[in-house]
Structure 1
Amino acid sequence: MLLKIDLKNIMKKYAIIVAGGSGTRMGAPMPKQYLEIGGKPILMHTLSRFFEAEPKAELILVIPEKDFSLWKDLCVQYKFFIPHNLVSGGNSRFQSVRNGLNSITENEGLVAIHDGVRPFVNPEVIQESFEVAKEKGSAIAVVALKDSIRRLTDDGKSVYQERQYFRLVQTPQTFQIRKIKKAFDVTELHTFTDDATVYEHQGWQVSLIAGNLENIKITTPEDMAYAAYLFK
């Protein structure tokens, strides 16, 4: 018996891993994405998570062009052979993501956009983000707040806010390629704090999915210490 495959429902998947930071807050001799935790640089853990979750997805690593030789040397040193394409980053995260999107020749399919220094994303979150984005156009990983929060007012006072109405935004942020390419074909605005805000600028509503709490963004020495603890 021959099985019929609906090619229209098979969407090619991409993952853009963005790592253009200089690591000034880390106070390290090299940008944080290349620092070693758990036996290899942070970026390698991140790429490995996506390869584990979606081995057929095309991985795109966006880093400063001046770091290309450093990264290639690290791949040799750590025997890192997961296939990926290198793309030169821009002067901002917005521009780096746009460069990554422009490297994708297809207009149909799905693309996850992820911070390179979030190496603890669960593979299940990655998989769900693709599934939801395929159906709804977007999928943004978020987590609920545990602490109470207050909003500062212009006159120096603070106002209690009900935390159940707020979420902390993580990555991956996954989209249908055609829509996110259109969203990024605009002039960069200061209100574009992440890919979801760029998408919303088109008037489209984003869809939220549950992230995982340990999916931290490694930015400070304290984050490095916590990351080392998580690996142990």
Structure 2
Amino acid sequence: MQVKYAIFDMDGTLLDSMHVWDNLGEDILSRHGISAQKDMHTRLRAMTVEDSARYFRTLGVQESMEAIMEEINTIPYERYRTEVQPKPGAVAFLQRLHQQGTPMCIVSSTDARSIRAVFDRLGVTQLFQFILSTNDFGSGKDRPEIFQAAARGLGGTPEETVVFEDALYAIRTAKMAGFPVAALADAEAKPEKPEIQELADVYLPDLRYFPWETADGLPEVSCCAVIVAAGASTRMGRPKQEIPLGGKPALVHTLSAFEQAKTVQRVILVCPPGQEAHFRALAVKNHCTDKLAAIVPGGDTRQKSAAAGAKAAGACRLLAIHDGARVLVTPEEIDRAVADAAQYGASALAVPVKDTIKKSDENGLIIDTPERRNLWAVQTPQVFCAKAYRSLLSGGGQNLTDDCQLFEHAGYPVHLCRGSYTNFKLTTPDDVPAAEAVLRKRGEK
């Protein structure tokens, strides 16, 4: 995503500050001996300070508009000045845009004095061309005029000015006015997440995951996961993708982990040929479709199945190849592997071998005992530079059961990223009760 000009909301987007406002209405009304109204917090969120003061007067506050507005501004001011912190990655993101010469401004419902107090403390005030408070402008972000004025002030048009927001009503306004929107996740807006995701051009856990574009037009750090679940499950004796685990089909646990992984933008599921519709229905039923971009049929070998998934993945920087039978992988493990691959170019989750390993000849006689400290049991996901992975696949060659081998045979180094012993593969019926035990233990925490 390109950012030529940028308009930033403050609370919930750049700052972890929504708690400052959570009980503001109740605090003000209680000072005047008035009971709080139902859903008052939600209503106040879309109002300017002047609108809020007017609303408090309708509820019985007898002070003048000016006095109420001063009260509204004064209560949060000290918290902004002394304690409110930035959201993860926010300051670094602003500094990067500034270094690139991107004109930026703030459009916020918070009063300008509080905005400057917190930004002065964080050392970022000078990064912005100007600060525009809805209190000074005279209308809120439920109307497009404030966004349009901000874009003009930056020297841009709506079409080339990205609005960074977390509130649904403001996102809706900006989109209707023709602005591209980068939506930021915030706990306050969790009930509105589905609509926000549908409206926004990009939805981010925080600004560390912004999809920067590079010279070739691709996101700087974008990862597509390929979940390979096309095997015949010969050793299990039944399709292991649908073995019930914790009340859900086994594959659902895998899909859910990738849905929750912050570093994965989309998912390709590779299933047995002819079962695409069945697996689509399974994903829909279990609410695992937010990132699911495609379901494609696999081939007669694992390598061919992975190749089918890589082909369907589209433009991306990294490919995370994962065995669908490793149903206990966690979002945190996925994120670690992706971050490791972003640094090294190729990475695989792995754990140190616990047992002593023996190498035998064809007669079963021991011929060697490898040094255990250098032995690792490799897991998935295995994450690679997408361009390199596709190039190596196109070279054909022998059938491999491990994607790291593609890189090893070509002389590319693969970094091992520490995984966990619970990320084991469902292979035989004995693995099922062990997986159930892990899920039960996680549920107790």
Instruction: Verify same fold: TM over 0.5.
Output: yes
Larger-gyration structure (1/2): 2
2:225–2:264 CA contact under 8 A, matched in 1 = no
Partner of 1:211: 419
Matched, 1:161 2:359: no
For 2:287 and 2:346, how far apart are their aligned partners in 1? 35
Q: Shift of the alpha carbon at 1:96?
A: 0.6
For 2:431 and 2:335, how far apart are their aligned partners in 1? 26
> Which amino acid in the other structure matches residue 87 of structure 1?
V
Q: Could you list the per-position Cα deviations for residues 169-205 of structure 1 after superposition, in whole angstroms to 9, with x for gaps in the alignment?
A: 1001001111111111122404x23110012222211
Matched, 1:95 2:304: yes
> Which amino acid in the other structure matches residue 90 of structure 1?
G
For 2:273 and 2:303, how far apart are their aligned partners in 1? 16
SS of the residue 2:314 aligns to: coil
For 2:291 and 2:221, how far apart are their aligned partners in 1? 19
For 1:213 and 1:94, how far apart are their aligned partners in 2? 25
Equivalent runs, 1:66-105 vs 2, <5 Å:
66-78=274-286, 80-84=288-292, 85-105=294-314
2:252–2:286 CA contact under 8 A, matched in 1 = no
Q: Report how many aligned residue pairs link the two structures.
A: 228
- More strand as a share of residues: 1
SS of the residue 1:161 aligns to: coil
Partner of 2:251: 43
Match of 2:380 among 149, 171, 174: 171
In terms of mean alpha carbon deviation, does 192-201 or 169-178 score higher? 192-201
**CA RMSD of superposed structures (Å):** 2.1
For 1:131 and 1:77, how far apart are their aligned partners in 2? 31
Q: Could you list the per-position Cα deviations for residues 81-129 of structure 1 after superposition, in whole angstroms to 9, with x for gaps in the alignment?
A: 44411011111110011111111332x5111100001111132221121
Equivalent runs, 1:44-63 vs 2, <5 Å:
44-54=252-262, 57-63=265-271
Match of 1:26 among 233, 236, 260: 236
1:13–1:109 CA contact under 8 A, matched in 2 = yes
For 2:237 and 2:253, how far apart are their aligned partners in 1? 21
Partner of 1:230: 438
Q: Structure 2 vs 1, CA of residues 92 and 166 (structure 1 numbering), >3 Å: closer, same or farther?
A: same
2:229–2:323 CA contact under 8 A, matched in 1 = yes
> Which amino acid in the other structure matches residue 342 of structure 2?
K
Matched, 1:152 2:399: no
> Which amino acid in the other structure matches residue 257 of structure 2?
R
Partner of 2:213: 7
2:223–2:263 CA contact under 8 A, matched in 1 = no
SS of the residue 1:230 aligns to: helix
Please report the TM-score for the alignment, with normalisation by the length of structure 2. 0.48
For 1:122 and 1:75, how far apart are their aligned partners in 2? 18
- More helix as a share of residues: 2
Q: Greater relative contact order: 1 or 2 (C-alpha under 8 angstroms, separation 6 or more)? A: 1
For 2:282 and 2:266, how far apart are their aligned partners in 1? 21
2:230–2:297 CA contact under 8 A, matched in 1 = no
2:258–2:264 CA contact under 8 A, matched in 1 = no
Please report the TM-score for the alignment, with normalisation by the length of structure 1. 0.90
1:60–1:100 CA contact under 8 A, matched in 2 = yes
In terms of mean alpha carbon deviation, does 75-84 or 47-56 score higher? 75-84
Gaps of 5+ in 1: none
For 2:409 and 2:363, how far apart are their aligned partners in 1? 30
> Which amino acid in the other structure matches residue 102 of structure 1?
K
1:37–1:227 CA contact under 8 A, matched in 2 = yes
1:183–1:201 CA contact under 8 A, matched in 2 = no
Partner of 1:112: 320
Q: Structure 2 vs 1, CA of residues 17 and 197 (structure 1 numbering), >3 Å: closer, same or farther?
A: same
> Which amino acid in the other structure matches residue 97 of structure 1?
A
> Which amino acid in the other structure matches residue 99 of structure 1?
A
SS of the residue 2:225 aligns to: strand
> Which amino acid in the other structure matches residue 313 of structure 2?
I
For 2:287 and 2:415, how far apart are their aligned partners in 1? 38
